């Protein structure tokens, strides 16, 4: 297994405060046959210099300096230059357990899978330097064919949804990206992409072992600010529906409707609580989407009464939307 080259890709933009810990977590992996690709996406802080410094210290590291294009552009550039049979996408303000790569590759090898996913632990920025990953064995595994793996992206347990959608807690067989790219200039890029990677796979392995530390940055947590870019998520969810309709995945259509309705209720609440100037413009967009999804939902259950049991799961968020 040690003969398999794995490319670890870090998209980097103005994360000087966190970057060393993130890179160190990769250098310190128990699995050593790594290609470490640092993609400096036009950072204006000291991040580019830190990248070059590390490249001088470790010959496994190569640095790409490029004009700022956003997270998706950086990921795509890293994947395009990767030589490994597998790729791991690490956000450069987060970090991973020292056995993360080894354990995920072991699961892929054991179960002949194309993707392996670990669980995520939230770490406050103030605690990140002293944080130690919890000790645990890989004792809770789920191995799914691609159609069943897709259900986790729209699982009725939203904690499973969030864990399954994010890109950075997974090891991927690189050839999955032959047909899939991250969308440029979009927020919620993972929502546009992860389900397509699951669909391209044959089998996905999920472990409950927490090996990815998501650092909650104090300056990025906000409950009041709102921008139109948040509505990129609507385009991603439209993509879900179009994809599942074209592939005749009826239960996935129902699951998508539930998550879509939840998203609409959440966005409506965020707009209401924000200082955004043209709230009515956003309300009109959300109301149109809400009406469309409700109609889609009714037609789906009419054509597929075997899914009627899921109607109440959607009704919950229809009520929430109307209550906002």
Which residue ranges make up each domain of the chain? 6-220, 228-323
pLDDT digits (tens, 9 = 90+) for 155-167: 999 999 999 999 9
Q: What is the mean pLDDT of the chain?
A: 94
Class for the domain spanning 6-220: alpha beta
pLDDT band for position 134 (cuts 50, 70, 90)? confident
Q: Which tens digit of pLDDT belongs to each residue from 5-33?
A: 999 999 999 999 999 999 999 999 999 99
The fraction of the chain above a pLDDT of 70, given in percent, is: 97
Q: Which of 312, 316, 259, 310 is nearest to 289 (CA)?
A: 259
Q: Is the dihedral of CA 57, 61, 67, 68 positive or negative?
A: negative
Please determine, for residue 138, whether its predicted confidence score (pLDDT) is greater than 80.
no
Amino acid 219: pLDDT: 60
The b-or-e profile of 162-181 (16+ CB within 10 A means b, else e) is ebbbbbbbbbbbbebbeebb
CB-side neighbour CA atoms (13 Å) of 87: 23
Query: How far is 267 from 321, CA to CA, in rounded Å?
Result: 9
Phi, psi of 115 (to 5 degrees): -140, 140
pLDDT interval class at 130 (50, 70, 90) = confident
CA distance linking residue 164 with residue 238, whole number of Å: 19
92 touches 15 (CB < 8 A): yes
Q: Is 185 left (phi over 0), alpha (psi -120 to 50) or beta?
A: left
Q: Angle 204-99-176 (CA atoms, 0-180°, nearest 5)?
A: 30
In angstroms, rounded to a whole number, what is the distance separating the alpha carbons of residues 184 and 227? 18
**Phi, psi dihedral angles at 26 (to 5 degrees):** -85, -45
Can you give the pLDDT at residue 161? 94
Work out the pLDDT band at 139, boundaries 50, 70, 90.
confident
pLDDT: which is higher, 1 or 240: 240
The burial of 89, by beta-carbon neighbours within 10 Å (0-12 exposed, 13-18 middle, 19 or more buried), is given as buried
Confidence of residue 220 (pLDDT cuts 50, 70, 90): low
pTM of structure:
0.94
């Amino acid at each position: 297994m040690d003969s398999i080259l794995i490319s670890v890709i870090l998209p980097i933009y103005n994360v000087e405060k966190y970057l060393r810990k993130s890179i160190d977590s990769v250098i310190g992996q128990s699995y050593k046959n790594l290609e470490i690709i640092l993609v400096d996406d036009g950072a204006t802080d000291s991040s580019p210099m830190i990248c070059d410094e590390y490249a001088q210290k470790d010959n496994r590291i190569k640095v790409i300096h490029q004009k700022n294009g956003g997270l998706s552009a950086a990921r795509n550039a890293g994947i395009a230059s990767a030589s490994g049979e597998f790729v791991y996408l690490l956000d450069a303000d987060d970090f991973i357990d020292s056995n993360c790569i080894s354990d995920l590759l072991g699961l892929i090898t054991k179960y002949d899978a194309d993707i392996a996913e670990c669980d995520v632990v939230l770490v406050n920025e103030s605690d990140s330097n002293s944080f130690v990953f919890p000790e645990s064995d890989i004792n809770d595994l789920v191995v799914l064919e691609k159609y069943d793996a897709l259900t986790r992206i729209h699982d009725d347990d939203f904690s499973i949804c969030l864990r399954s959608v994010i890109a950075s807690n997974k090891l991927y067989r690189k050839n999955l990206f032959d047909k899939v790219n991250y969308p440029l200039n979009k927020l919620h890029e993972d929502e546009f992409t992860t389900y397509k990677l699951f669909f391209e796979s044959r089998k996905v392995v999920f472990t409950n072992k927490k090996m990815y530390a998501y650092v909650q940055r104090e300056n990025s947590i906000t409950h009041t600010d709102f921008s139109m870019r948040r509505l990129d998520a609507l385009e991603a969810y439209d993509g879900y529906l179009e994809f599942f309709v074209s592939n005749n995945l009826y239960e996935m259509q129902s699951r998508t409707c539930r998550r879509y309705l939840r998203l609409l209720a959440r966005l409506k609440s965020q707009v209401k609580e924000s200082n955004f100037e043209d709230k009515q413009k956003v309300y009109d967009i959300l109301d149109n989407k809400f009406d469309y999804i409700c109609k889609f939902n009714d037609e789906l259950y009419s054509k597929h009464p075997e899914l009627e049991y899921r109607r109440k799961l959607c009704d919950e968020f229809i009520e929430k939307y109307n209550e906002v």
